[in-house]
Amino acid sequence: MHLKLKVFAEQVLVVANIFILFLLLFESKLVIPAWLQTIGRMHPLILHFPIVILLLAMLLEFFRFKPEYAGNAFYRDFLQGLLLIGALFAAVTVVMGLFLSREEGYTGDILTWHKWTGAGIFFLASIMYWVRNAKWYKSLTARAGAMITVVALVLTGHYGAALTHGSNFIWEPISSKKEIAEVPLDQAVVYTNVIRPILEQKCTSCHNPDKLKGELVLTDPKSIMKGGKSGKLLVPGNPQMSLLLQRVHLPMEEKKHMPPSGKAQLTLQETALLTLWVKQKADFEKKLNELPESDSLRLLATAYLRPHNQEEEYDFVAADENKVKELNTDYRTILPLARESPALAVNIYNASAYSAKQIDELGDIRKQVISLNLNKLPVKDADLKSITQFENLRKLDLNFTDVTAAGLKELANLKHLQNVTLSGTKLNLNDLKGLLPQWKSVKTVAVWDTKLSAADVQQLQQANKGMNIIGGFKDDGKNPLKLNPPQMKNPSPIFAQTLVVDIQHPIKGVDVRFSMDGSEPDSVKSPLLDHKTVINKNTTVKAKAFKKGWYGSDMITFDYFKSAYTPDSSTLLAPLNRVHQAEGVKTFFDHKLGVIGANNPAWANNWAGVRDNDMAFVSEFKTPVMLSSLGVRYMVEEDTGIFPPELVEVWGGTTRDNMKLLTKFKAPMPVKGERASLRSVEGTFKAQQVSYIKIVAKPLSKIPDWHRNKGNRALLLVDEMFLN
Half-sphere exposure for 464 (CA within 13 Å, toward CB): 25
Let me know: does 306 contact 185? Beta carbons within 8 Å: yes
Bridge partners, 237 (sequence order)? none
Q: Is the pLDDT of residue 293 over 90?
A: no
Least confidently predicted of 1-5, 294-298, 656-660: 1-5
Higher-pLDDT residue of 384, 353: 384
Q: Is the pLDDT of residue 202 over 70?
A: yes
Q: Which residues contact 293 (CB under 8 A, 6 or more apart)?
A: none
Helices 2-25, 109-131: axis angle to 10 degrees equals: 150
Q: Give mean pLDDT, residues 105-111.
A: 61
Model confidence over 270-287: pLDDT tens digits?
777 888 888 888 888 888
Q: Give mean pLDDT, residues 223-241.
A: 77
Q: What SS3 state is found at 210?
A: coil
Bridge partners, 344 (sequence order)? 336, 369
Residue 255 sits at the vertex; the CA angle it makes with 254 and 260, to the nearest 5 degrees, is 100
The number of helices, as runs of H, and strands, as runs of E, in the chain is 20, 24
Higher-pLDDT residue of 601, 520: 520
Q: Residue 174: pLDDT band by 50, 70, 90 thresholds? A: very low
Taking the alpha carbons of 428, 429, 431, 437 in that order, is the dihedral positive or negative?
positive
What count of other Cβ atoms lies within 10 Å of the Cβ of residue 503?
20
- Give the closest residue to 503 by CA, choosing from 569, 557, 425, 568: 557
Higher-pLDDT residue of 369, 676: 369
Look at residue 207 in the predicted model and tell me its pLDDT. Answer: 72
Q: Is the pLDDT of residue 446 over 60?
A: yes
Percent of the chain with pLDDT over 90: 27
Percent of the chain with pLDDT over 70: 84
Q: Is the pLDDT of residue 456 over 60?
A: yes
Q: Give mean pLDDT, residues 479-484.
A: 68
Q: Is the pLDDT of residue 213 over 50?
A: yes
Helix (H) or strand (E) holding 631: strand 615-636
Q: Is the pLDDT of residue 372 over 80?
A: yes
Least confidently predicted of 409-413, 466-470, 624-628: 466-470
Look at residue 1 in the predicted model and tell me its pLDDT. Answer: 42
Q: Is the pLDDT of residue 475 over 80?
A: no
Q: Is the pLDDT of residue 177 over 50?
A: no
Q: Is the pLDDT of residue 539 over 80?
A: yes
Q: Residue 387: pLDDT band by 50, 70, 90 thresholds? A: very high
Q: Is the pLDDT of residue 180 over 50?
A: no
Look at residue 602 in the predicted model and tell me its pLDDT. Answer: 40
Q: pTM of whole model > 0.85?
A: no
Higher-pLDDT residue of 295, 133: 133
Mean residue pLDDT across the chain: 82
Mean pLDDT comparison of 194-208, 244-258, 301-315, 401-415, highest-scoring range: 401-415
Q: Is the pLDDT of residue 107 over 70?
A: no
Look at residue 561 in the predicted model and tell me its pLDDT. Answer: 94
Q: Give mean pLDDT, residues 425-439.
A: 89
Higher-pLDDT residue of 629, 68: 629
DSSP code, position 721: E
Q: Residue 121: pLDDT band by 50, 70, 90 thresholds? A: confident
Least confidently predicted of 77-81, 130-134, 190-194, 337-341: 337-341
Q: Residue 168: pLDDT band by 50, 70, 90 thresholds? A: low
Q: Give mean pLDDT, residues 102-121.
A: 70
Q: Give mean pLDDT, residues 497-523.
A: 89
Residue 112 sits at the vertex; the CA angle it makes with 109 and 116, to the nearest 5 degrees, is 145
Q: Is the pLDDT of residue 685 over 70?
A: yes
Residue 570 sits at the vertex; the CA angle it makes with 569 and 574, to the nearest 5 degrees, is 165
For residues 504 and 361, give the distance between their C-alpha atoms in angstroms, rounded to a whole number.
34
For residues 94 and 115, give the distance between their C-alpha atoms in angstroms, rounded to a whole number.
8
For residues 244 and 252, give the distance between their C-alpha atoms in angstroms, rounded to a whole number.
15
Q: Is the pLDDT of residue 500 over 80?
A: yes
Higher-pLDDT residue of 387, 36: 387
Look at residue 68 in the predicted model and tell me its pLDDT. Answer: 77
Model confidence over 597-656: pLDDT tens digits?
654 444 456 889 999 999 999 999 999 999 999 999 999 988 788 999 999 999 999 999
